[in-house]
Amino acid sequence: LTGRARSHVQQLSQPRFAAQPVVAQAFLAMREAALADGIDMLPCASFRPLEGQLRIWNRKFSGEATLRGQDGAPREFAALSQEELVWAILGWSGLPGATRRHWGTDIDVFDRASQPPGYKVKLLPEEVAPGGVYERLHAWLDVNIGRFGFFRPYRSYRGGMYAEPWHLSHLSAAQAALAAFDIDMVVRAIRDADMLGRELVLDMLPEIFRRHVLNIEER
């Protein structure tokens, strides 16, 4: 649950992603249904180990990677206090040790069929807005996602993660993971990690856990 093992996930190659077997099976069934409607739904992120999430975190905490606001626009790294920096990272990136990415239950998706040649996926609000490149995919998901056991935990902004309608979660598998998960697991994972801002994050962890782990849309 904290990303330090991957024995719970299955690696697939066509399309390439990793998830719990029950989640992978449900996603492939949903993908086939979407294909029948002319939508080539593919994963662009799925299971991510702790080391992978740490690399993302450390690049953002050091200013190496771009920080973005809720609207997707870049933010000025130098203008942020250390605490503001933590919240800025958490708007778009899960906390290492505490992200649903570690559970093997969640998959980010895009529609290859709707992209112009050479298009690179951004995973930003503009892509799912009216007229956006993935508008049709998300209209299809609005109608069909529940049939395959998935939901959007970050469908709208609730004071934690920014809205990520492309982030799909398998309801029953994720509920089981969350029920087995607790803040002490995260503390142990972070204390052993090579993580920038570690002590500050540990001080902030109760609020982070409330706003970013527990604060989701259930359906």
Helix axes 82-92, 198-208, angle to 10 degrees: 60
Helix axes 50-61, 82-92, angle to 10 degrees: 130
Which run of H or E residues covers position 16?
A: strand 16-19
**Under a CB-based contact definition with an 8 Å cutoff, are residues 102 and 50 in contact?**
yes
Measured CA to CA, the distance from residue 209 to residue 19 in angstroms comes to 23
> What integer pLDDT is reported at residue 76 of this predicted model?
97
Does residue 2 sit within a domain?
no
Does residue 164 sit within a domain?
yes
> What integer pLDDT is reported at residue 54 of this predicted model?
98
> What integer pLDDT is reported at residue 212 of this predicted model?
95
Q: Note the pLDDT tens digit of each residue in 202-217.
A: 999 999 999 999 999 9
Does residue 3 sit within a domain?
no
Does residue 79 sit within a domain?
yes
Which residues is 74 bridged to in the sheet? Answer: 68
Q: What angle do CA 97, 11, 119 make, to 5 degrees?
A: 85
Three-state SS at 39? coil
Q: Label residue 215 exposed, middle or buried (CB < 10 Å: 0-12, 13-18, 19+).
A: middle
Low-confidence ranges of the chain (pLDDT < 50): none
pTM for this one?
0.95
Residue span of the structural domain in which 172 resides: 10-213
Does residue 5 sit within a domain?
no
Does residue 117 sit within a domain?
yes
Domain count, the chain: 1
We report the CATH number of the domain holding residue 197 as: 3.30.1380.10
Does residue 181 sit within a domain?
yes
Does residue 219 sit within a domain?
no
Measured CA to CA, the distance from residue 89 to residue 91 in angstroms comes to 5
